[in-house]
Amino acid sequence: MKYKLVLIIGFISLIFSCENSKQLVNINAENRIIAEELPSNKDIEAVIEPYKINLDKSMTKILSYSTDTYSKNDGNYNTAIGNLMADAIMELSNPIFKSRTGKNLDMVLLNHGGIRSVLSKGNITTRTAYSLMPFENSVIVVALKGTVIMEMTSYLKEFGKPHPISGLELVLNSDNTYNTILIGGEPVEMEKTYHVATNDYLYKGGDQMYFLKKSDTLYDLNYKIRTVLIDYFKTYDTLSPTKDQRFIKLKN
């Protein structure tokens, strides 16, 4: 394939005053054609090809089966695909966290925007996990007081998006006040410390979840969310996630 590369060569002369300030005095530029074409390198292609074949095989390996197509936009307060992702992190991250700390996870919080594709009906492959979570985000655990959990619930109410949660149960009244806030089936205790699994992007303030930074304890599980999904898909040969009662709003 023929193409041209354009190299812009700029000559910049700088002079320094006695106060060490910098002043731009002249810029010259010109276009030069380096080559009419860059032929492919057969030797390099021969080296790359086996890796490409193996990668393609790995990405298309069937891990599970989805009974329907699920979108992050199929619910106002919780979604089937969001529930699946949050529950997957709760199920697979908790044993790791407990083995290192002797403690259990209390809940999981992810972000709605972090779900980057639908889960299509049919075979689920490794590529499916990469489509759902193309980022390098990892699971981290923060220790939060009950008072901060209440800030979190205020955020979830006001944000207007179905952020994936697990272990947390929320019921809104019709006037948008909270009727119920439970963790592990129990009311939130203001001075109790809860261990919340989330991702490093949110901990750094992503989606304005600044309350996560109020943790004085941080655990990095060194477990990428994408890898969690792959492991979860390998665990269950058929997936039928559902919307449920974990976050709902009562009618009049």
CATH number for the domain harbouring residue 108: 3.90.780.10
Do residues 31 and 8 touch, judged by C-beta distance below 8 A? yes
pLDDT category at 154 given cuts 50, 70, 90 is: very high
Question: What SS3 state is found at 172?
Answer: strand
Using a pLDDT cut of 70, give the percent of the chain over it: 78
Do residues 147 and 70 touch, judged by C-beta distance below 8 A? no
Domain ranges, residue 127? 62-249
Q: Assess whether pLDDT exceeds 90 at residue 243.
A: yes
Q: Assess whether pLDDT exceeds 50 at residue 163.
A: yes
What pLDDT score was predicted for residue 149?
98
| Nearest CA-CA partner of 131 in 181, 191, 85 | 85
Inter-CA distances, 87 with 32, 181, 214, Å? 57, 18, 24
Out of 25-29, 62-66, 176-180, 244-248, pick the least confident. 25-29
pLDDT category at 216 given cuts 50, 70, 90 is: confident
Do residues 140 and 219 touch, judged by C-beta distance below 8 A? yes
What pLDDT score was predicted for residue 28?
57
Give me the number of domains the chain comprises: 1
Residue 3, domain member (yes or no)? no
Whole-model pTM? 0.79
Q: What is the pLDDT of residues 70-115, one digit of tens each?
A: 999 999 999 999 999 999 999 999 999 999 999 999 999 999 999 9
What pLDDT score was predicted for residue 52?
54
> Alpha-carbon distance 185 to 188, whole Å?
9
Using a pLDDT cut of 90, give the percent of the chain over it: 75
Q: What is the pLDDT of residues 173-213, one digit of tens each?
A: 999 999 999 999 999 999 999 999 999 999 999 999 999 99
Residue 98, domain member (yes or no)? yes
33 versus 144: which is more confidently predicted? 144
Residue 136, domain member (yes or no)? yes
Residues contacting residue 144 through CB under 8 Å, at least 6 positions apart: 152, 193, 194, 195, 196, 211, 212, 214, 215
Residue 92, domain member (yes or no)? yes
Residue 111, domain member (yes or no)? yes
Mean pLDDT of the chain: 86
What pLDDT score was predicted for residue 31?
59
Average pLDDT in the 157-173 region?
95
What pLDDT score was predicted for residue 30?
60
Residue 224, domain member (yes or no)? yes
